[in-house]
Amino acid sequence: MADARVLEYKDTYLASSFDCDDILLVPPSLSFWLTHTQDLDNQSVAAMDFCSKKVIIFSVNDNEDFGRGDDGSHWSLLVYDRSMNAFVHHDSMEGANNLHAVKLYEAVKPFVGRAAVASAKPKSSSSRARNNKKKKEPAANKSKPSAASTAPPAFIESSSTPQQMNGYDCGLYVIAIARIICQWHTSNSKKKAENWFPALQKHVNASVELTLRDEVMKLIEDLRISG
């Protein structure tokens, strides 16, 4: 339902709708480049200024053809949250993009901030034993800030991601989930949850396949006219 051009337009729309310097929406083409570029270094990613962001949202694609970054058949989201010191993968098709999300996570985790620097250093056997424990998805009221931690950021395959009802509306879920995360992060409500999972479960469901369809079609038409 949504190709890379529509998702990039979506990022522009969200960035203008939620004016917050703490959030970085990485364009799908750049996420793809980060995933498939070998030997990334600080100079390569410096312009993205990952270290200054509290939330970084990447688009994940199942395309393996480096020559066609806008190809592929399925999209999902990888979200870095500094307060959790974790990357959370939201996939509306039961983890179909897990391997691609892990590949992107491995590529960018050394560059997201001080908490990830330690991942480039040799670990003691005791450290490896501790880090081999499976990371569970945090409860809504259990997430605690850990930006000052020396532990590398974890990877979490979210079990609370709403699942699409067909094989083609992954783009709608990517848009809906990204919007919920931006709304959560910019909210000033006193009742704000410790993470976006409750809002995701409450507001994103099969209805997005209808409610967002017209909005996405308008984005496509705008792109067609402008392009």
The pLDDT of 196-210, averaged and rounded, is 89
Looking at the chain, list the stretches that DSSP marks H as alpha helix, in order from N- to C-terminal side.
4-17, 28-36, 42-45, 98-108, 114-117, 125-131, 170-186, 197-203, 208-211, 213-226
pTM over 0.85: no
- Sign of the dihedral through C-alpha 186, 191, 194, 200: negative
pLDDT at 204: 93
The pLDDT of 60-68, averaged and rounded, is 81
Q: Residue 52: which of 15, 17, 16, 20 has the closest Cα?
A: 20
DSSP character for 105? H
**Range of lowest pLDDT (108-117, 125-134, 141-150, 202-211):** 125-134
pLDDT at 3: 62
Bigger pLDDT: 151 or 82? Answer: 82
pLDDT band for 133, please (50, 70, 90 cuts): very low
**Range of lowest pLDDT (71-75, 137-141, 210-214):** 137-141
The pLDDT of 182-198, averaged and rounded, is 87
Report which residue type is found at 66.
F
Q: What percent of the chain has pLDDT over 90?
A: 42
The answer on pLDDT for 143 being more than 60 is no
- Which pLDDT tens digit goes with each residue over 46-57? 889 999 999 999
Report which residue type is found at 205.
N
The answer on pLDDT for 218 being more than 60 is yes
pLDDT band for 128, please (50, 70, 90 cuts): very low
pLDDT band for 32, please (50, 70, 90 cuts): very high
Q: What is the CA radius of gyration of the chain?
A: 17
pLDDT at 192: 82
Q: What is the mean pLDDT of the chain?
A: 80
Bigger pLDDT: 119 or 49? Answer: 49
The pLDDT of 130-146, averaged and rounded, is 49
pLDDT at 67: 67
CA gap 8, 201 in Å, rounded: 25
The pLDDT of 77-87, averaged and rounded, is 96
